[in-house]
Amino acid sequence: MVIVYESKTGFTKKYAEMLAEKTGLKTLPTSEISKVNQDAEIIFLGWLKAGKIQGLNKVRKYNLIAVCGSGTARRAEPSTEAVIARNKLEGIPFFYLRGGCLPLKEIKGMDKVLLSMFLWILKSRRDKDEETEEAIEIIENGFDGVKEENLEPVLQWLKTR
């Protein structure tokens, strides 16, 4: 069994390394997927972009046994069910991990454009609830939600196998 991850700004990588430390499994980025044996079981961790788990397509043809998606929201956005459907994960255990993000001014390219649009949508909401206010703050100032305890459901699931 091996842990494979796709991470752009490092938060998902931190989870992959934490999980490797806790389980003794090897971890490697999707860029090195060719080193993985086709039969080897893979736990995949990828970051969420507009509900799509980045890098997932690179590991699809491998022996994928579980998928973790990291995002900045408290819960999977737009919802766990939507993420499972949008990423065609029916039948594969899915775990949401709260990751983090850099302050908007440190994000570059198309990601910055997309996130700026999202920020504008959030700010245009008339009745902003607590989660909306939090999302605005996180995008503008950055946030690190990576915690060992968030991996607990993954570790519990691994124990049952």
Residues that bind ligand FMN (CB under 6 A): 7-13, 47-51, 70-73, 77, 99-101, 107, 111, 114-115
Please say which residue, 66 or 71, places its beta carbon nearer to ligand FMN.
71
87, amino acid identity:
N
Minimum CB separation from ligand FMN for residue 136, in Å? 14
Tokens for 134?
A: 């939090």
Contact 142, 103 (CB under 8 A): yes
State the residue number with the nearest CB to ligand FMN: 71
Cα–Cα distance measured from residue 60 to residue 86, given in angstroms and rounded to the nearest whole number: 14
In the complex, the smallest distance separating the C-beta of residue 8 from ligand FMN, rounded to whole angstroms, is 3
Q: Which is nearer to ligand FMN, 2 or 99 (CB)?
A: 99
Give ∠ CA 78-84-149 in degrees, rounded to 5.
Answer: 75
Q: Between the CA of residue 76 and those of 25, 52, 62, 125, what are the distances in Å?
A: 26, 11, 24, 20
Q: Which residue lies nearer to ligand FMN by CB, 4 or 99?
A: 99
Token pair for 130: 């607590």
> For residues 8 and 58, which CB has a smaller minimum distance to ligand FMN in the complex?
8
Residue type present at position 6: E
Which SS3 state, helix, strand or coil, does residue 152 take? Answer: helix
Task: Tell me how far, at minimum, the Cβ of 155 lies from ligand FMN, in Å.
Answer: 19
Q: Which of residues 46 and 158 has its CB atom nearest to ligand FMN in the complex? A: 46
CB of 73 to ligand FMN, least distance (A): 4
Q: Smallest distance from the beta carbon of 1 to ligand FMN, in angstroms?
A: 21
Q: Is 160 exposed, middle or buried (0-12, 13-18, 19+ CB in 10 A)?
A: exposed
